[in-house]
Amino acid sequence: MLLLGLTGSIATGKSTVSSLLSRPPYSLPVIDADLIARKVVEPGTAGYNAIVRYFGPTTPDLLLPDASHPKGAPLNRPALGRRVFGTSEERIRDRKVLNGIVHPAVRREMYKQMAWAYLRGHWAVVLDIPLLFESGWEKYCGTILVVAVSDPAIQMRRLRERDPHLSEEDAKNRVLSQGNVKEKAERALRRGEGNGVVVWNDGGKEELQREIERTLREIRRGSPRWWSLLLWLCPPVAGVAGLVSWWRMKKVQEQWEEEKTREKAKL
């Protein structure tokens, strides 16, 4: 089973692509890291309790004024977002703390859903992860699809249209916090043909649909039906193929990180 990593940046159209892939004619199972991240911090969970302990004393509006939930008031996500999104040292530190709480729980749930998709015989499963490269999932994906836009102004406009409660500064902080989408596109293409794909989403939805159709045809050619059936029928073969892919992509990841380290050292 192919692990198809789907990523991009905020307001580039990643969620639209995820929705397209989940419906016919593709009908691929989508493991949405954002949805899982919401689930693991619902009131009463270990993640929720850890967030309240750390952020509660210094974030008065961390919880919504809702006493109807039997296990506690839900998190005020916009307030938490204002606390962790940004480029200052304090916000970067707090974002790391939040990620340290949420990410381990998200990984456990994603592993469960991947195993279930494999047992059901799907040829591929979509891993919808906004911070795919940053969270270390790159090496697990056989193919990575990056949804990108060429102009950050497009992101800002789409984000504020989608979330009108955001100020211009809040929108800018959220865009900056998810990294340069052009760098993500470059990083995907460095994986080589068939292992990294970029879909540029500067136009409308119809144009995006045509691009996704073309891209999925190319990906499917690299993972034909007979190969998918063999991996499903022979788990040992699937295990070996997965290890080989993981090793190759880990080398690509390490090479990229070494190059970026050398570039920073020259500055």
Tens digit of each residue's pLDDT (9 = 90 or more) over 99-137: 899 888 888 899 999 999 999 999 999 999 988 988 889
CATH code, domain with 204: 3.40.50.300
Q: Quick check: is 25 in a domain? A: yes
Cβ–Cβ under 8 Å, residues 17 and 208: yes
Q: Quick check: is 161 in a domain? A: yes
Token pair listed for 148: 């990108």
Q: Quick check: is 34 in a domain? A: no
- Tell me, yes or no, whether 88 and 159 share the same domain: no
- Domains identified in the chain, total number: 2
> Which of residues 85, 119, 153 is at a domain's end?
119
- Tell me, yes or no, whether 15 and 75 share the same domain: no
The pLDDT of residue 88: 84
- Residue-number span of the structural domain to which 84 is assigned: 43-119
- Tell me, yes or no, whether 47 and 98 share the same domain: yes
Q: Quick check: is 38 in a domain? A: no
Q: Quick check: is 37 in a domain? A: no
- For 201, residues 6+ apart whose C-beta sits below 8 A from its C-beta are 12, 13, 16, 17, 147, 148, 149, 208, 211
> Which of residues 94, 119, 144 is at a domain's end?
119
Tens digit of each residue's pLDDT (9 = 90 or more) over 208-236: 999 999 999 999 988 888 988 998 889 89
> Which of residues 73, 100, 119 is at a domain's end?
119
Name the pLDDT band for 18 (thresholds 50, 70, 90): very high
Token pair listed for 40: 């693991």
- Tell me, yes or no, whether 160 and 220 share the same domain: yes
